[in-house]
């Protein structure tokens, strides 16, 4: 069985964007009450008593938008200071990074992924659903600030939506030529907005690679990450291009991650809801850490059977009761 050592921790389900592919404006969302979120102390307890003893050493903080989480810097510091932590990253939309990048870096965060689905303010505005094109500039400034502070690698996540931002593939790829930035092209998934997925569908990673290959050439990169991206590079470019191809090129056999939602549900597979465990309720009821560890261990053993490859990725779009922001992206 593939070693499972990577935990994605959702800190909050709220977000200051309403991205079309995640939590569109027309969606009726019921946010988690503050008292139902895992506290910082509970997160650290679960790491120390359950996940680290089971071999987890890589952690990524997600949301919703994790920069909205109160006490974020303290939590980052606590996780970074755990002796078993080998890698700590964060995924954010970057809107608040201009003010927070330095304090997060000082707390021990070194790796950051920022969502940037368009270089065009109007297109960006349509995707994030806020009716304010100036948000692109603040997000871009957040990216620049993070880079100046010293985050390395700095990754930009791009969800390609046909007819929306697929005309920007080359412009986005070009960001890696002169900067040590790492662009991650992500295939559009049927989570969060099934109607948009049905209407727009998705573009296979190989088609994106071929566009880039025809313009500059493309070689396999020596740089690898903790996740499922296949990593390439424009010849002589400073950065890299990664392709996360969950729809066209199933990577379940090398998946090394599980997800913990902001309200404490452990999910073994992003695209399959089977087998979830409510760790928060058990923890608050005083269930012993050894019992929780045993439950999680059993779930990890079942993970290969639960993975998305047991489903039809091309046609099954109706089995997700939570949006991406509620799962933890």
pLDDT in tens, 153-173: 799 999 999 999 999 999 999
User: What local confidence, expressed as pLDDT, does residue 152 receive?
Assistant: 84
Q: Please check whether residue 1 lies inside any domain of the structure.
A: no
Highest mean pLDDT (candidates 32-36, 90-94, 195-199): 90-94
pTM score, two decimals? 0.89
pLDDT in tens, 63-91: 999 999 999 999 999 999 999 999 999 99
DSSP per position, 91-113: EE--TTHHHHHHHHHHHT--EEE
Q: Please check whether residue 125 lies inside any domain of the structure.
A: yes
pLDDT at 35 over 50: yes
Token pair for 159: 């969800």
Mean pLDDT value across residues 87-99: 97
The answer, yes or no, to whether the previous bond of 153 is cis (omega within 30 of 0) is yes
Q: Please check whether residue 272 lies inside any domain of the structure.
A: yes
Angle at 21 between CA 15 and CA 27, to 5 degrees: 65
Question: How many domains is the chain partitioned into structurally?
Answer: 1
Q: Is 70 exposed, middle or buried (0-12, 13-18, 19+ CB in 10 A)?
A: exposed
pLDDT at 316 over 50: no
pLDDT in tens, 239-291: 999 998 877 777 677 789 999 999 999 999 877 777 899 999 999 999 999 99
Q: Please check whether residue 205 lies inside any domain of the structure.
A: yes
CATH of the domain at 119: 3.20.20.70
Q: Please check whether residue 166 lies inside any domain of the structure.
A: yes
């Amino acid at each position: 069985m593939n070693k499972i050592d990577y935990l994605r921790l959702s800190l909050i389900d709220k977000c200051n964007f309403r991205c079309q592919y995640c939590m569109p404006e027309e969606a009726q969302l019921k946010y988690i009450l503050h008292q139902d979120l895992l506290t910082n102390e509970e997160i650290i307890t679960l790491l120390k008593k359950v996940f680290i003893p089971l071999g987890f050493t890589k952690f990524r903080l997600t949301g919703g938008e994790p920069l909205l989480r109160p006490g974020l810097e303290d939590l980052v510091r606590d996780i970074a200071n755990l002796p078993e932590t080998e890698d700590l990253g964060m995924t954010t939309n970057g809107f608040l990074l201009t003010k927070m990048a330095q304090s997060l870096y000082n707390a021990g965060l070194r790796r950051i992924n920022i969502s940037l689905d368009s270089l065009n303010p109007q297109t960006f505005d349509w995707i994030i659903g806020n009716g304010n094109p100036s948000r692109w500039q603040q997000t871009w400034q957040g990216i620049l600030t993070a880079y100046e502070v010293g985050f390395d690698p700095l990754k930009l996540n791009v969800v390609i939506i046909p007819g929306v931002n697929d005309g920007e593939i080359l412009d986005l790829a070009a960001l890696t030529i002169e900067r040590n930035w790492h662009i991650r092209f992500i295939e559009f998934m049927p989570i969060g907005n099934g109607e948009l997925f049905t209407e727009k569908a998705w573009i296979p990673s190989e088609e994106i690679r071929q566009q880039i290959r025809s313009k500059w050439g493309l070689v396999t990169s020596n740089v690898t990450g903790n996740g499922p991206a296949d990593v390439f590079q424009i010849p002589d470019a400073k950065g890299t291009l990664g392709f996360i191809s969950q729809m066209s090129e199933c990577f379940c056999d090398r998946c090394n991650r599980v997800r913990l939602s902001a309200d404490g549900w452990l999910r073994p597979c992003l695209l399959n809801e089977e087998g979830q465990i409510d760790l928060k309720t058990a923890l608050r009821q005083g269930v012993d850490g050894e019992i929780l560890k045993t439950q999680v261990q059993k779930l990890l053993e079942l993970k290969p059977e639960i993975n998305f490859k047991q489903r039809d990725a091309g046609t099954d779009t109706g089995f997700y009761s939570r949006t991406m922001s509620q799962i933890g992206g």
